Amino acid sequence: MNNINWLSYKSSIHIDPAWKKRAAAAMTAYAKKTSNQTEQIYGTKHSLTPFKIAVALAVFALFAISPAAIASAKYSRPGQLLYPLKRLTENVKLAVATNTEAKTAIQINQTVERTNELSVSIEKDRQDQQLKAVAEVEATRKELEKLPSEIKRDTYRKIRERLEAVKEKARHEIVKKRLEAIIASFEDKLDEVEVKKDEGNPSPTPTNKPQSPTPANSSSSSGGSSSEVHVETNNGYTEIIINGNVVVTVAPSQNESKIDVKVRGGSVKVNTNSNVNSHSVIDLQSDD
């Protein structure tokens, strides 16, 4: 570019010296005023941002720890040597999940995995491991509260059902009692979610509800006093409503004419008609 006079072009553009002087003073003042902000943004003088630390830890976890150890850790249970590694890989998975849906799916899978661990610990009959596994399950309840409300309800149900199945297998009294407490807390959470849902979609009051064609068939499960009993279907789940309150929910898989369901405080037998429709009338009979 010898024949192109860049220097002449360059020298034809020069800055206003008065502006430069003013701007330099203003820049100095700005820098002095905001010198704390640079620290707030970038943390330390070593420029180790939290993101860099997290990435470094994730890389360490993925490469420094051998794949064989990670594979073995997959089947570990609370109280075992490789269990912390299993939880670490789970947390890394959760941390690198990019969208909310993926994070939700991972959280639910982790909760299910906790119940599986408890189930296996019970089968192996290691009381110490069982108690640790119970503690892990308890801890997941807090995590589940962060889930979106529309998923929370189904997840609480799923986990509660699994825990009830696990409780049946438990042999140690202390494990059983703690599991009962956890199941009760899940039921409370489920009630909360359902009450919120009802508040969000106000349904007609029991007196305003369409009456069933044969209301005389309705009866309460205990004591024989007359109550308004209805069945409603919601997303495949059958809800049994007594005096306007949802007391029992039945999973879609239990689509039979006679359903044994558990209500808090005892179990009842629900005789549905051949098809359960919205506002069908059912009989509730004491199971005992």
Partner 1 sequence: MKDHDHKYDVEALFHLARGGDGQAWGQLFTIYVDDIYRYAYVKLGNTMDAQDVAAETFKKVWLSLRSMHYENFRAYLYRVAHNVIVDTYRTKKRITVNEQLLAHIEDERQRPEENIEKKQDAQVLYDALRKLPKEFQDVLQCRFMEDLSVKETASILHKSQIWVRVAQYRATKKLRNILSDKS
Is residue 14 close enough to count as binding partner 1 by CB under 8 A? yes
Residue 23 as a binder of partner 1 (CB under 8 A): the answer is: yes
d(CA 268, CA 263): 7
Under the criterion CB under 8 A, does residue 2 sit at the interface with partner 1? no
Residue 274 lies near partner 1 (rule: CB under 8 A): no
**Nearer to partner 1 among residue 41 and residue 64 (C-beta):** 41
C-alpha–C-alpha distance, residues 134 and 57, integer Å: 29
- Binder to partner 1 among 18, 19, 275, 288 (CB under 8 A)? 19
Mark 96-125 with x for binding to partner 1 (rule: CB under 8 A) and - for no binding.
------------------------------
Q: How far is the CB of 98 from partner 1 (least distance, A)?
A: 24
Q: Residue 10 or residue 142: which is nearer to partner 1 going by CB?
A: 10
Residues 25-44 that bind partner 1 (CB under 8 A): 25-35, 37-39, 41-42
Pattern 171-190, binding to partner 1, x per CB under 8 A? --------------------
Question: Given the complex with partner 1, which of 4 and 64 has the nearer CB atom?
Answer: 4
The minimum distance between CB 59 and partner 1, in angstroms, equals 19
Q: Which one, 21 or 264, has the nearer CB to partner 1?
A: 21
4 binds partner 1 (CB under 8 A): yes
* Contact set with partner 1 (CB under 8 A): 1, 3-6, 8-16, 19-20, 23-35, 37-39, 41-42, 45, 47, 49
